[in-house]
Amino acid sequence: MSDSIVDLSINTIRTLSMEAVQKANSGHPGAPMGLAPAAYVIWQRHLRHNPKNPDWFDRDRFVLSNGHASMLLYSMLHLTGYEAMTLEEIINFRQWGSLTPGHPEAELTPGVETTTGPLGQGFANAVGMALAEAHFNEKFGGVVDHFTYGICSDGDLMEGISHEAASLAGHLGLGKLVFVYDDNEITIDGRTDISFSEDVQKRFESYGWQVLSVEDGNDVEGIDAAIKAGKEQTAKPTLISVQTIIGYGSPNKADTSGAHGAPLGGEEIEKTKEKLNWPHSESFVVPKKVREHMTENARSRGEELEADWKQRLADFADTDSDAAAELERRIEGRLPSGWDLQLPGFEPSEKGMATRKAGGAVIEKLYEELPELIGGSADLAGSNKTLHPKYGVIARGEYAGQNIHFGIREHAMAAMVNGMCLHGGVRGFGATFLVFSDYMRPSLRLAALMGQPSLMVFTHDSIGLGEDGPTHQPVEHLMSLRAMPNYHVLRPADANEVRECWKMAIERDEGPSGLVLTRQSVPVLNRRGMGGFGEPRQGAYVMADSSTGGELPEAIIIATGSEVSLAVEAWDRLTADGLSVRLVSMPCWSAFEGQEQSYRDSVLPPEVTARVSVEAGAKFGWQRWVGDRGIAVGLERFGASAPYEEIYENLGITSEAVEEAVRTLVE
């Protein structure tokens, strides 16, 4: 390559990337080396961003879906002048406490839009970001107007989540989404043709994408022209297939899997520098000309772009002050005053209602009070009770509504919801049956890792689902989700707890929440005069207590969800016989664990070791609350296909079983 400033800049990206991987003795140098020209074109010629303000709202979003190529992103952040991404951070790649972990982490590194690593996740996140932008653009008359750019790999496009997300993006016509496909034909195990022979371009064309091709990954002008064409086609998302050479410049490892997931080696790096005509023998050099060309240009251009947008905002406020105030509120993430005052309340009723039905009533009111709440179901809207068409349904060319038909795409739905929340100004949610959370776990886990307030509605939460049988009846799912750090599992006992759990989820901004709701009806419980204290928002509270005069109860029953009503029946009989029993409803373990020790001890006094839990799910894990002496009434097997009342009876999840367990412990 020539000594032009463009070539010098591209080779700076390459050398920083391969040297950081070498110093860490760990990482993936090949993709950054092959992708350096594409990244240069995106960041230097197209990406609207301000390095001095990484969170400027109307910036373009950039997603590196193939997160193993993280040094490409870190090099771009450093070279374009993000203050936190110092050269020292580059040198400390993959080290404890650095801002340069092995895969990009949005919650850690300024300028990183999403946490990528599991392949395909970033791709689906980007679709969610593009959908959020389309919503804002239509809702606020174009004052929000930006693109979402991404880079993806062969691995991303093999993963099923990318198929789901690409299909929906094409269906919705998200035209301000432009992806560069790193078509280098190499994975860890070797050339892609050992397992991957489909025509990717035709596949994306069938999804409704514009598909373009650049045959030479070093063709800067060709890549530039393709991106321009992608930006001009606003009725379709664009995939640009760029044929790169992994490990470009390495004499012995380029175009081989040897450049994929291991350092090149010191000797090979020296030979690579020679082949690239790199003028510096020392490591981690950024030539002054490159610094001036990339850093100064990006900073000055970014400040101008943000200033222009602020002027657009001011003009918008002059035209429509109410809409401008609403836009500002949503950008800042503030809830409107009194947003929860009109949420429905429910009178006590033995007949009751399914908590999914109560959830539907709450969602309908939330749609009215919180226009930023946007979501829907994976083709189960009627069952999940999430569809309220009067608040608008998002479709091709119609993005201002609040309802989304995700189709049968649980994995993409969860990742898109993450992308919507990451975009900002939107509270995304999805919905499906609890058993299908298995399809969604990588996305749920990443939401928890990023601390994103993504919301999920999981209905049909237990063997109470009934006749559909054990394939659809979750057993281990509650515990597996509770095991996930920073994930709030909210399993309300009745309609009024549903309202309170939704409030908890909406007010939580440091992590995701899953509302777990019943298919079957449960009583709306009467809590008056039962000696209880505390509130659902505290994670657990005393619903009923027959102990008097400050004395400790003889036993404690702890229940969640639909089994709280069974516990109430047992409590009634036990207390009628003169036993001193406390009943605790525990809708959210993690919220309870976050309370002060004094409150936790007031609800579950350590001195009371006669404890019984009841939940129509796995017993595993309940020792945390009932202790070694306690008894967990639950399941150690899968469910069955039958009316739900018979399943509960035959599997021993009954008020009689709870009562017997308490009597056994007390006696």
Query: Where in the sequence numbering do the catalytic residues fall?
Result: 410
- Mention every residue, 6+ apart, whose C-beta is less than 8 A from residue 580: 546, 547, 548, 551, 552, 553, 554, 555
DSSP state of 511: S
Rounded CA separation 42/225 (Å) = 11
Structure tokens at 230: 């992608």
Long-range contacts of 616-622 (CB under 8 A, 24+ apart): 616/462, 616/463, 616/464, 616/561, 616/562, 616/563, 616/648, 616/653, 617/462, 617/474, 617/475, 617/476, 617/477, 617/478, 617/479, 618/475, 618/476, 618/478, 618/479, 620/476, 620/479, 621/479, 621/482, 621/483
Is the Cα torsion angle 121, 125, 128, 130 positive or negative in sign?
negative
- ∠ CA(238), CA(242), CA(248), 5° rounding? 150
Q: Is 322 exposed, middle or buried (0-12, 13-18, 19+ CB in 10 A)?
A: exposed
Q: Quick one: which of 31, 30, 29, 38 has its CA closest to 10? A: 38
Residues in a beta bridge with 150: 63, 179
3-state secondary structure of 164: helix
Rounded CA separation 223/342 (Å) = 53
Rounded CA separation 455/466 (Å) = 26
CA-CA distances (angstroms) from residue 71 to 18, 21, 576?
8, 8, 68
Number of other residues whose CB lies within 10 A of the CB of residue 189: 10
CA-CA distances (angstroms) from residue 274 to 15, 17, 278, 430?
11, 16, 6, 52
CA dihedral 623, 627, 633, 636 (to 10 degrees): 40
C-beta separation of 279 from 63 below 8 A: no
Rounded CA separation 664/599 (Å) = 28
Give the per-residue SS3 of 292-313. HHHHHHHHHHHHHHHHHHHHHH
Rounded CA separation 115/451 (Å) = 11
Residue with token string 């308490």: 662
Residue with token string 């990528």: 116
C-beta separation of 575 from 530 below 8 A: no
Rounded CA separation 362/335 (Å) = 16
Q: Quick one: which of 161, 197, 180 has its CA closest to 36? A: 180
Q: Quick one: which of 608, 375, 366, 356 has its CA closest to 491? A: 356
